[in-house]
Amino acid sequence: MEKQDYVVGEYDVVVIGAGHAGCEAALASARLGKKTAAFVINLDTLANMPCNPSIGGTSKGHLVREIDALGGEMAKNADKTFIQSKMLNKSKGPAVHSLRVQSDRRMYHIEMKKTMENQENLDVYQAEIVKIITKDRQVVGVKTKIGATFLTKTIIVATGTYLKGKVIIGEVSYESGPDGVFPANDLSQSLLDIGVELRRFKTGTPARINIRNMDLSKMEIQYGDEKIVPFSFDNEGNLDIINKKQVNCYLTYTNKKTHEIIMNNLDRSPIYSGKIHGIGPRYCPSIEDKVVRFNDKERHQLFIEPLGEKTSEMYIQGMSSSLPEEVQIQMYKTVAGLENAKLMRPAYAIEYDCIDSTNLKLSLEYKGIEGLFFAGQVNGSSGYEEAAAQGIIAGINASRKIDGLEPFVLDRSEAYIGVLIDDLVTKGTNEPYRMMTSRSEYRLMLRQDNADLRLTQKGYELGLISHERYLKFLEKKQKIENEIKRLKNTKVKPIEYTNELLESLNSSKIKSGTSLAELLKRSELNYENLKPLDIDRKELPDSVKEEAEIEIKYEGYIKLQLEQIEEFKKLENKKLSSEINYEDIKGLSLEARQKLNKQKPLSVGQASRISGVSPADISVLLIYLSQNNIK
């Protein structure tokens, strides 16, 4: 190792960055008993929300619940700091129900900072890491901008959008991280020096406007849910959360005039003028991108969301832009309720360096550099929730690497986290990746309501779930099983009272005795409206009742999905050695040989999801395994 200026400390795990990925990574490794250091350019940006002041949303709420079930912090912090809570997609099936909360942005930072500062085995530093030190392709330390060296066994890079960050507003651009914080300009070169491939992505955020300059009477009020559901399973039944006072959000729309201003200034948009070189998110486009791509739409929704209880700043969700500030002012003023708008912070786009995620193992360790892990937007994903999900997995696996244990990997049938990481590592992404329920083949099994049933056992075995919480989980699980059994065994007779009730619920009469479970399978009936027929029913927690109802109502579909998962597992269990040279396997296409040799999939199942590997190539692989007696 080269001579260093001075060594400040020695750690098991060093985390570079303390956004949502870095916080989860650092907390996980520290809670697993590893001496951990987390570095952030400015401590006031720890767990910052530079884009939108919310946690969760469609499919993202699933990720937050899964992080919580494994023993992570995001859900707990969201419960501490939310100012409005909503369960999305309630008119649809339970597979796509997703919790989303408006967070108090500043309080989210304060509470997470407090958690990090008080976590045993974790030290938090304000410092910019400029160099990753390696020896024989193994990480051994990091160096700060002022020359301090920290020795370490593993490193987790969780730099978000800071790597060579460049903010772009119209014709103006300047080096910056999000929210006007210094970018990390030197670390990119260090990563290149040790053989890490970099690429350029971009994202953006809308303007912030003072509520004093809004006419809320012209907008539609968006209330929070009357019945609040906590994010963390540990907070089920917590009255302080369930009875929390909520703030309102508001809904307004763009219009023809808004769109005219945008179209008349497209030549000044960096996206269309060629000034932005990074690739932006397909599923979270700027307002100018929306107007161009969906030119048949007369208006687009805009949600006006408060950044917190002690600020007048409002976030304009749905109107991110990189147009010049004077154009933004004109554009926002055309919107109903924003006629007198003054921009407290203009909208901006930000370009940043990230890696090619196909160079990662499923453990999130970089191939060819021992002990170097990556998590979050630096892997090409977008969103706080996607970042945090990768963070907890990277933290777990950095710890397990030190202990010589096998990596902890969730597959696509076990969790949305598994889908997220498998997509990034196996398929790669050419644009900022966003989690969506449609990406999961087994979404009926991977619901947000049953994340604890799927993953708490794993979290406990890893060492991130306390014994007390585990016992509470086992009790809940038993109650669900008992209630399902009871509903299946409780018979209802075809008497007049029963049929009158069924008719009043627009359900057909019964001609013979049937169980409550069979009645529950009818789409028009539910657990609550069958209560008059269930005279022996005992009071149970809402989560138990919900789970029992879902398991019964969708029993046939769940059985079918379990069979599909069993077939999926067969290919996942056919392991592929990293020593295989795919050039030697006759019958594979040229593209398949190249892709398989580059990515070295762990299983036939993973190989089948690599872009460019066809079903015919998979058949050749299966024949190869059979001929070589590889099971």
- What is the C-alpha to C-alpha distance for residues 54 and 36, in angstroms, rounded to an integer? 28
- Reference 75, options 290, 392, 320; nearest CA is 392
- What is the C-alpha to C-alpha distance for residues 204 and 279, in angstroms, rounded to an integer? 11
Q: Which two tokens stand for residue 367?
A: 């191939």
Q: Bridge partners of 279?
A: 201
- Reference 364, options 416, 400, 331; nearest CA is 400
User: Is pLDDT above 70 for 142?
Assistant: yes
Model confidence band, residue 283 (pLDDT cutoffs 50, 70, 90)? low
- What is the C-alpha to C-alpha distance for residues 436 and 575, in angstroms, rounded to an integer? 28
Query: What is the tens place of the pLDDT at every residue in 222-240?
Result: 999 999 999 999 999 999 9
Q: Say what the pLDDT of residue 82 is.
A: 98
> Which helix (H) or strand (E) is 202 found in, with range?
strand 198-205
The residues, ordered by sequence, that sit 6+ positions from 585 with a Cβ below 8 Å of its Cβ are 593, 620, 621, 624
- What is the C-alpha to C-alpha distance for residues 630 and 389, in angstroms, rounded to an integer? 34
| φ/ψ bin of 150: left (φ > 0), alpha (ψ from -120 to 50), beta (otherwise) | beta
Q: Say what the pLDDT of residue 289 is.
A: 87
Question: Strands across the sheet with 54-56, in order?
Answer: 54-56, 98-103, 82-88
Give how far the C-alpha of residue 98 lies from the chain's centroid of Cα atoms, to the nearest Å: 12
Surface-to-core class of residue 243, CB atoms within 10 Å of its CB (0-12 exposed, 13-18 middle, 19+ buried): exposed
Q: Which amino acid is at 247?
A: V
> Which helix (H) or strand (E) is 525 found in, with range?
none
**Mean pLDDT, residues 119-128 taken together:** 98
- What is the C-alpha to C-alpha distance for residues 603 and 229, in angstroms, rounded to an integer? 39
Tokens 């509520």 correspond to: 211
Total length of the chain: 631
- Reference 305, options 389, 384, 221; nearest CA is 221
Q: Which two tokens stand for residue 164?
A: 């060579």
- Reference 283, options 198, 374, 383, 388; nearest CA is 383
DSSP string of 400-429?
HHHTTPPP----TTT-HHHHHHHIIIII--
How many of the other CB atoms lie within 10 Å of CB of 327?
19
- What is the C-alpha to C-alpha distance for residues 9 and 153, in angstroms, rounded to an integer? 12
- What is the C-alpha to C-alpha distance for residues 244 and 196, in angstroms, rounded to an integer? 47
- What is the C-alpha to C-alpha distance for residues 525 and 507, in angstroms, rounded to an integer? 8
Q: Which two tokens stand for residue 560?
A: 């079918």
- What is the C-alpha to C-alpha distance for residues 564 and 177, in angstroms, rounded to an integer? 44
User: Is pLDDT above 80 for 279?
Assistant: no
- Side-chain-side CA neighbours of 44 within 13 Å: the count stands at 5
C-alpha distance from residue 323 to each of 265, 276, 615 (Å): 8, 12, 45
- 448, 61 in Cβ contact below 8 A? yes
- Dihedral in degrees, nearest 10, Cα atoms 217, 226, 52, 249: 0
Q: What is the DSSP letter of 137?
A: T
- Reference 201, options 377, 421, 321, 52; nearest CA is 377
Which of 198-207, 313-322, 369-378, 433-442 has the highest mean predicted lDDT (pLDDT)?
Answer: 369-378
Q: Which two tokens stand for residue 585?
A: 């396997």
Query: What is the tens place of the pLDDT at every residue in 177-198?
Result: 998 899 999 999 999 999 999 9
Q: Say what the pLDDT of residue 272 is.
A: 67
- What is the C-alpha to C-alpha distance for residues 180 and 186, in angstroms, rounded to an integer? 18
> Which helix (H) or strand (E) is 480 found in, with range?
helix 467-489
- 244, 255 in Cβ contact below 8 A? no
C-alpha distance from residue 525 to each of 192, 520, 558 (Å): 60, 6, 19
C-alpha distance from residue 117 to each of 113, 360, 401, 442 (Å): 6, 30, 25, 38
Query: What is the tens place of the pLDDT at every residue in 531-541?
Result: 999 998 999 99
| 3-state helix, strand and coil shares in percent for the chain, rounded to the nearest 5 | 40, 20, 40
- 54, 102 in Cβ contact below 8 A? yes
Query: What is the tens place of the pLDDT at every residue in 504-535?
Result: 999 999 999 999 999 999 999 999 999 999 99
Q: Bridge partners of 123?
A: 37
Q: Say what the pLDDT of residue 281 is.
A: 62
Surface-to-core class of residue 468, CB atoms within 10 Å of its CB (0-12 exposed, 13-18 middle, 19+ buried): exposed
- Reference 259, options 316, 313, 321; nearest CA is 321
Query: What is the tens place of the pLDDT at every residue in 571-629?
Result: 999 999 989 999 999 899 999 999 999 999 999 999 999 988 999 999 999 998 888 87
Surface-to-core class of residue 90, CB atoms within 10 Å of its CB (0-12 exposed, 13-18 middle, 19+ buried): exposed
Query: What is the tens place of the pLDDT at every residue in 447-480?
Result: 999 999 999 999 999 999 999 999 999 999 999 9
Tokens 């309720």 correspond to: 337
Give the chain's domains with CATH numbers.
Answer: 9-203+352-452 (3.50.50.60), 208-349 (2.40.30.260), 484-559 (1.10.10.1800), 573-627 (1.10.150.570)
Q: Say what the pLDDT of residue 1 is.
A: 46
Tokens 């789970």 correspond to: 547
User: Is pLDDT above 80 for 280?
Assistant: no
Q: Which amino acid is at 329?
A: I
**Mean pLDDT, residues 376-396 taken together:** 97
Give how far the C-alpha of residue 434 lies from the chain's centroid of Cα atoms, to the nearest Å: 8
State percent of the chain over pLDDT 70: 97
